[in-house]
């Protein structure tokens, strides 16, 4: 099928860019002698997962139990569910474990450690748990040195129903860095925090087999992964305009885009309208564009995916995208009604979630495959 | 099933609030002697649609052809597809018409009018089209008095393959109003624009059977609908925090919410974490809260849906919602790990789109039904 025959809006995935992104990350993590545990929350797709690693070749990370279930069906058994666990989800987790999943859970409070143990006993199960460490104050976890880390470690080790699997952190702060120096410093901050926490546990006389860190920016800019047993990253498979704005990738690395159609010219307001709005692109505001403006995506040639001159999606309604012509050299004549535009997304994880699958391209005008996604919870 | 047994995050719909919102709008439009053509882009659900009007009892509005197809299957034949039409979608529209749909299309350029006619002839079809009118500069359409309106009207009337169905406008600007006076003024601005455009067409010697306006705020605050043959509104069925911030509804009118679970305490940052993040709530920034802060939802009691004291979702990651305790009287002890919270959404249309359906409640702790949605394109 031709791109030009697709109903729009449609989600496109450039296979060559995807494969290059996967190779870049694999090479990077290998060069630093660590191991990648890809975070599949971005792709939620077995077809993408298989290009990263085959079932049996290593562990994966997920953000929902729906993903855990889906990827287990594909044969991925070593699964880290990287969201703080609550008792209400343990029955479902036990079912997945009974089906062959080797699931590792996450928590960062004494309360959760006790609750998990209590439910584990009721379910006649044992849940391996990582302790979440906070390396930058951005989301969850305990700061290295916090005595609670040792308390939880001891609890997980001692309690019936839990075991201490190690420590994990995520440098969400890397999304506020820009350029190589800042990104490398954040990667080192993340590494230092997680290895310090691991050392704290070992000093307390316990083992800490897993020392897990990761985010796409820090994984790609780390200079050392010493003491880190695994690195998690997700959005690198697709990249997006947020990653590009941080200096993590170029726009030619962005593998995900939304195919849209120009549906109207608003000459009195000097803008065109496309049929990709807030639902098709996501309402994620991303980072400001090089003009210092808020935007919701960058319009590109529909086939080559080469960005057009300052053609930013300036605002969105549910099914409308508005593109101002104020800052571009392009005119209404260059952008006739019915013409397709391909939009690079601000935040690939959010944009992809609006679709049930990917239309795969090989960089040309032809759709070569369709890959399903596993959405919802 | 009990609310407390639901996997979270889950989308909840309060049936009593829904029904009350539907009655309020019906009463309002009847009192002004117009007719409601509900916009089903918000609910995308036959179960909700049937509570507004039964198939055969009137026309509906849709924002995607997927919705058109879905609602046609339920017996709704009079369908306005309220997004500017492009030739690439006409084959699908012709198919729907062959299946019994009486579809009305929308456009606002001479180019589109010509393109539709050209394709219509190829498809051996005739497409009734509304001309979109711009009443506030916010999105699409031609300003009343613009000679292009008459040009398009003449084209639609004269050309083989098209017919002139009337005029349509949408006061997106109502989302920037606040309070009764501003909202009523915007409703009158919308009415004045659309009736002026209709008059322009009639003065040119043509008929203008449909004079369509609408948005939830203007529909609910209009003082007159004279000359308006139909009113479109969508989000009123659920309402949301944006509508509440404008003064269009109270928080007790908001029928849609996301059930979530408290998954962690971050004591060093004085915040709790929930398992509803950017995907579950949407990244739509909505309006600032009464404290003047950006937020992503308001936490409520899980059963009564009564807002808790200043418990705003302060930021989101993909599957994490962060709730600061800085401005609330509630403490970590009031919000134990595992407790459920119900989150009122910023923008109901965007939030609902992340789910395949609604868990329906009757205001108590029990789930009484599940209503599917028709997502995607």
Which A-chain residues 106-125 have CB contacts (< 8 A) with chain B?
Answer: 107-109, 111-112, 115
CA angle (A354 as vertex; A264, B307 as ends), nearest 5? 105
Structural domain ending residue among the three candidates A180, A207, A232: A232
Which helix H or strand E contains B203, and what residues bound it?
Answer: helix B179-203
> Of all residues in chain A, what percent carry a pLDDT higher than 90?
100
B78-84: strand order across its sheet: B60-62, B78-84, B102-107, B127-133, B162-169, B210-213, B230-231
Six-digit token string for B30: 């009847």
Query: CB distance B115–A146 less than 8 Å?
Result: no
Are B255 and B192 found together in one domain? no
Contacts of A355 in chain B (CB under 8 A): 376
> Using 50, 70 and 90 to split pLDDT, how confident is the model at A350?
very high
Contacts of B147 in chain A (CB under 8 A): none
Average pLDDT value over all residues in chain B? 97
What average pLDDT does this structure show over A265-292?
Answer: 96
Give A325→chain B minimum CA distance, Å. Answer: 14
**A300 assigned to some structural domain:** yes
Model pLDDT for residues A302-324, shown as the tens digit of each residue: 999 999 999 999 999 999 999 99
B145 touches A at CB < 8 Å: no
Are A345 and A227 found together in one domain? no
**B20 assigned to some structural domain:** no
Are A70 and A139 found together in one domain? yes
Query: CB distance B84–A273 less than 8 Å?
Result: yes
> Using 50, 70 and 90 to split pLDDT, how confident is the model at A103?
very high
**A286 assigned to some structural domain:** yes
Closest listed residue to residue B10, CA positions, set B364, B313, B261? B261
Are B115 and B259 found together in one domain? no
Are B265 and B312 found together in one domain? yes
Determine the structural domain holding residue A277 and report its residue range: 3-10+249-372
Model pLDDT for residues B199-218, shown as the tens digit of each residue: 999 999 999 999 999 999 99
Task: Give residues with Cβ within 8 angstroms of A158, minimum separation 6.
Answer: none
Alpha carbon distance A28, A51 (integer Å): 16
Contacts of A261 in chain B (CB under 8 A): 86, 88
At residue A310, the pLDDT reads 97
What average pLDDT does this structure show over B29-37?
Answer: 97
Structural domain ending residue among the three candidates A232, A267, A296: A232
What average pLDDT does this structure show over A167-172?
Answer: 97
Contacts of A268 in chain B (CB under 8 A): 134, 137, 142-143, 146
Are A81 and A152 found together in one domain? yes
B372 touches A at CB < 8 Å: no
Are A138 and A212 found together in one domain? yes
Query: Quick check: pTM over 0.95?
Result: yes
How far is residue B144 from each of residues A324, B137, B186, B189, B195, measured CA to CA in Å?
22, 11, 16, 11, 9
Model ipTM value: 0.97
What average pLDDT does this structure show over A53-68?
Answer: 97
What average pLDDT does this structure show over B134-153?
Answer: 96
* Number of domains within chain A: 2
Model pLDDT for residues B53-102, shown as the tens digit of each residue: 999 999 999 999 999 999 999 999 999 999 999 999 999 999 999 999 99
> Using 50, 70 and 90 to split pLDDT, how confident is the model at B113?
very high
Longest CA–CA span in chain B (Å) reads: 72
The residue of chain A nearest to residue B133, with distances taken between CA atoms, is A266
CATH code of the domain covering residue A90: 3.20.20.10
A316 touches B at CB < 8 Å: no
Query: CB distance B141–A320 less than 8 Å?
Result: no
**A90 assigned to some structural domain:** yes
**A67 assigned to some structural domain:** yes
CATH code of the domain covering residue A321: 2.40.37.20
B345 touches A at CB < 8 Å: no
Structural domain ending residue among the three candidates A197, A232, A267: A232
> Using 50, 70 and 90 to split pLDDT, how confident is the model at B10?
very high
A355 touches B at CB < 8 Å: yes
Are A261 and A225 found together in one domain? no
The residue of chain B nearest to residue A62, with distances taken between CA atoms, is B319
Are A209 and A304 found together in one domain? no
At residue A151, the pLDDT reads 98
**B345 assigned to some structural domain:** yes
At residue B332, the pLDDT reads 98
Are A223 and A156 found together in one domain? yes
What average pLDDT does this structure show over B108-134?
Answer: 98
**B271 assigned to some structural domain:** yes
**A195 assigned to some structural domain:** yes
Closest listed residue to residue A176, CA positions, set A210, A145, A217? A217
Best A129, A137, A345, A376 residue to mutate vs chain B (most B CBs within 10 Å):
A376
Are B82 and B222 found together in one domain? yes
Are B143 and B202 found together in one domain? yes
């Amino acid at each position: 099928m031709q791109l030009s025959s697709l109903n729009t809006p449609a989600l496109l995935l450039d296979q060559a860019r995807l494969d290059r992104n996967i190779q870049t990350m694999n090479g990077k993590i290998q060069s630093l002698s660590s191991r990648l545990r890809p975070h599949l929350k971005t792709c939620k797709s077995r077809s993408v997962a298989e290009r990263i690693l085959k079932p049996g070749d290593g562990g994966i990370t997920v953000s929902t139990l729906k993903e855990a279930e889906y990827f287990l069906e594909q044969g991925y058994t070593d699964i880290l569910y990287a969201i703080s666990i609550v008792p209400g989800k343990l029955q479902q987790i036990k079912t997945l474990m009974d089906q062959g999943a080797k699931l590792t859970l996450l928590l960062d409070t004494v309360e959760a450690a006790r609750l998990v143990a209590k439910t584990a006993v009721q379910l006649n199960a044992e849940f391996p748990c990582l302790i979440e460490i906070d390396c930058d104050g951005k989301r969850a976890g305990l700061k290295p040195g916090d005595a609670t880390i040792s308390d939880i470690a001891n609890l997980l080790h001692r309690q019936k129903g839990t075991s201490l699997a190690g420590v994990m952190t995520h440098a969400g702060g890397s999304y506020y860095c820009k350029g190589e120096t800042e990104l490398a410093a954040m990667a080192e901050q993340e590494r230092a925090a997680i290895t310090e926490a691991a050392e704290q546990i070992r000093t307390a006389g316990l083992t800490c087999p897993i020392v897990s860190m990761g985010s796409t920016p820090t994984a790609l800019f780390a200079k050392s992964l010493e003491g880190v047993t695994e690195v998690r990253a997700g959005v690198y498979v697709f990249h997006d305009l947020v990653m590009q704005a941080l200096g993590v990738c170029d726009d030619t690395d962005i593998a995900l885009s939304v195919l849209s159609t120009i549906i109207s010219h608003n000459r009195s307001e000097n803008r065109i309208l496309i049929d990709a709005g807030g639902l098709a692109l996501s309402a994620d505001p991303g980072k400001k564009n090089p003009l210092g403006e808020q935007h919701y995506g960058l319009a590109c040639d529909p086939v080559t995916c080469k960005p057009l001159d300052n053609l930013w999606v300036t605002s969105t309604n549910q099914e409308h995208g508005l593109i101002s012509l104020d800052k571009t050299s392009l005119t209404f004549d260059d952008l006739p009604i019915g013409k397709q535009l391909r939009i690079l997304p601000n935040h690939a994880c959010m944009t992809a979630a609006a679709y049930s699958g990917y239309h795969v391209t090989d960089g040309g005008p032809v759709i070569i495959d369709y890959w399903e996604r596993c959405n919802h919870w």
